[in-house]
Amino acid sequence: MQYFVVMLDYGRRGREAVVDPEITRREVVSRVTSGEYRNISFIHEIVDQSVEDVTEAILTEAALPQIRPDEVGLQAIRRDHARDLRKHERT
């Protein structure tokens, strides 16, 4: 049996361990990426009778790529500018 334990730290309000044997590694990464899991103390992967700390690996997997400002899609910027122009024409 394999499952993950995600320990969330709420500061003075305490801590919560999220344990669900049906959640896969991909789902844990997805929840970290989406922000559903915040203030993570640790993430442990339990396989049979062994425990492995996979906190750093999952946080690295879930990290969003950093996009430099000069790489932002110029097409989107042009659309926003055109929309703004139309908005000002109406007033």
pLDDT for the residue numbered 57: 92
Supply 39's token pair: 């203030």
pLDDT digits (tens, 9 = 90+) for 2-37: 999 999 999 889 999 999 899 999 999 999 999 899
Supply 10's token pair: 């709420």
Alpha carbon 24 to chain centroid, angstroms: 15
C-alpha to C-alpha distance for 32 and 28, rounded to whole angstroms: 6
Q: Phi/psi zone of residue 71: left (φ > 0), alpha (ψ -120 to 50 degrees), beta?
A: alpha
pLDDT digits (tens, 9 = 90+) for 56-90: 999 999 986 655 655 556 666 677 777 788 777 76
